[in-house]
Amino acid sequence: MNEIAPQVEVWKKVVDVQQHFNDLELRIRNFALIVTGAFIGLGGYAIKDGGTVTLFGLHMSVAGLVVFCSLLPLVAFYLMDRLWYHRLLEGAVAAATPVEARLRDMGLTIELGTKISEASPFTLFGRKVRSKHKMDGFYGLTAFGIIILSLILAFGVEPGTRDAKLANTLITPAVSATATSPASPNLGGSLAETSSAASD
């Protein structure tokens, strides 16, 4: 009994470390989405401003370039997540295996780490997908969406400036009013003829 208590405490500490690294990974992915969303918001403001730039002979919207730049922090978050904290999490999971085996030898049924390791992977198209593959898919799909959006904004947005758009907004109603103004004298003449006929 005296040997079981210390082993249980060791197991609890290992589980706490697992939870700590797992929480850090979730925070990193949350920050990655927040930063990416901020760049997309700046891209939307750049669309409103209507700025353009020429790079390598290509004339493109600044909005697409701003959104494309969000790949830089996204890659940094990915490297931190994939090559740093995820490896530490894998080490913590591996450390729990012998502790749980020792507790089972003492008659305790503790298989948390073992069951999680068994339940985490799944098979997709004949290939076993593990947690590192899920992480690659998360960042990969996000990067793919950013690339597609940046290309659409870079080459699909018509170049122009905010002042030109404002001028077009002001000129269009004026042109419409000028086109309809000649009808007013005819209307006045018709009313005069009607009044004359009525007096006769």
Same domain for 143 and 46: yes
Mean pLDDT of 19-41: 95
Same domain for 151 and 140: yes
Same domain for 156 and 113: yes
Same domain for 174 and 83: no
| pLDDT for position 56 | 76
Same domain for 168 and 82: no
Summary mean pLDDT of the chain: 79
Same domain for 50 and 29: yes
| pLDDT for position 82 | 94
Tell me the torsion sign for CA atoms 28, 29, 30, 36. Answer: positive
pLDDT tens digits along 76-105 = 999 999 999 999 999 999 888 888 888 888
Same domain for 52 and 130: yes
Mean pLDDT of 26-44: 94
Same domain for 170 and 121: no
pLDDT tens digits along 43-64 = 888 887 777 777 677 777 888 8
Higher model confidence: residue 9 or residue 51?
9
Same domain for 174 and 84: no
Q: Give the count of domains, the chain.
A: 2
Same domain for 182 and 144: no
- The range of the structural domain enclosing residue 71 comes to 4-160
pLDDT tens digits along 144-189 = 999 999 999 888 776 554 444 444 444 445 445 555 555 444 444 5
Amino acid at 32: A
Same domain for 110 and 192: no
Same domain for 166 and 151: no
Q: Is the pTM of this model over 0.85?
A: no
How far is the C-alpha of 187 from the C-alpha of 26, rounded, in Å? 72
Mean pLDDT of 11-16: 92
